Chains A and B, each alone.
Chain A
Amino acid sequence: MKLIRYEYPQSPSVSAFNRLFDLGAPTVERFGSLFDDFFAGADQPAVDLYEDVDNFYARLELPGVKKDAVDVELENSILTVSSVVASESKDAAKQYRFSRSITVPEGVAFDKVDASLTDGVLTVTLPKAEARKPRQIEIK
């Protein structure tokens, strides 16, 4: 089995602390919001990371966030998804921001990264570079 390095987000915020509670128990409801209620600030949404033969996929749940409001950035193999969400109701305008960074697995073709937002779920497709894909080698 190949191990892929996965690092915690770059900003050492409270949410990273929250995430300590998630370790080893991904199916249990997050404790996270408990602490977020006490410490206001940029929220860090949870990320799922998947792999198939051709791509890596990072998935985030961003309910109610419009496509234009999301900022996806890739720099030095760190993928950052951030947004400022403004919601207006009759008597109050609210705004909240979130940002999440993950270290992209090795061997990603950076120029072909793609992102789509459907039904409130953002999927970032990180294609593997040709050299990293499994190859069948012909015997001559």
Chain B
Amino acid sequence: MSTLESQTIQKPDAETKARHWRRPHYNVVESAEAFEISVSVPGVNRSGIDISVDGDVLTLEASRGEAPNGWKALRRELPQGDYRLALKLNVPINESAIKAQVTDGILGLTLPKSEEVKPRKIKVS
């Protein structure tokens, strides 16, 4: 079960108007220690990814680059634009220990829960 909620964040700045954004598909799996998020970002390599945490909002932006020069589109079915995903975190996470790696167009994000929300065993003495 996911305790993360997605949220569309409207930023009416000039940059958003100039670029097209597309919301990637994503999946969240919760374990005792962390949230594992996998985001589909086909066409994106390591250098094109930008992840930031601002307060309780995790923002992911990934650019996939344009088709090579000289390519003329005969037909386009794929949605265009770069990826942007904003997730609202309603569980405190350990921001400094966030891990991310991208393989075959899937971005894997590990958000470790912060110590205070991890389950604890209490010994009866």
Question: Interface on A for B, CB 8 Å cutoff?
Answer: 4, 6, 19, 22, 26-30, 46-53, 56-57, 59, 61-66, 89, 105, 117-121
Residues of B within 8 A of A48 (CB): 67, 73, 75-78
Interface assignment of B70: CB less than 8 Å from any CB of chain A = yes
Residues of B within 8 A of A59 (CB): 67, 78
Cβ A30 vs Cβ B79 within 8 A: yes
Q: Binding site of B, secondary structure by majority: helix, strand, loop or mixed?
A: loop
Cβ B74 vs Cβ A50 within 8 A: yes
**With contact pairs A61-B42, A63-B104, A63-B105 given, residues A27 and B80 touching in the complex (Cβ less than 8 Å):** yes
Cβ B72 vs Cβ A51 within 8 A: yes
Cβ B44 vs Cβ A26 within 8 A: no
Cβ B42 vs Cβ A51 within 8 A: no
Pick the most buried of B23, B44, B74, B79: most chain A CB atoms within 10 A of its CB.
Answer: B74
Q: How large is the interface on B (under 10, 10 to 19, 20 to 34, 35 or more residues)?
A: 20 to 34
* Nearest CB on B from A52, distance (A): 5
Contact pattern, B 61-103, Cβ under 8 Å of A = 1, otherwise 0: 0001001101111111111110000000000000000000010
Cβ A119 vs Cβ B29 within 8 A: no
Question: Interface on B for A, CB 8 Å cutoff?
Answer: 20, 22-23, 29, 38, 40-45, 64, 67-68, 70-81, 102, 104-106
**With contact pairs A119-B43, A120-B106 given, residues A52 and B70 touching in the complex (Cβ less than 8 Å):** yes
Cβ A29 vs Cβ B70 within 8 A: no
Cβ A53 vs Cβ B79 within 8 A: no
CB<8 Å pairs between A and B, sample of 10: A30-B77, A48-B75, A48-B78, A49-B76, A50-B71, A50-B72, A63-B42, A66-B104, A119-B45, A120-B106
Chain B residue at smallest Cβ distance from A44: B77
Cβ A29 vs Cβ B79 within 8 A: yes
Residues of A within 8 A of B23 (CB): 29
Name 8 extra pairs, CB < 8 A, besides A27-B80, A51-B74.
A22-B77, A26-B77, A47-B75, A48-B76, A62-B105, A63-B104, A64-B38, A64-B40
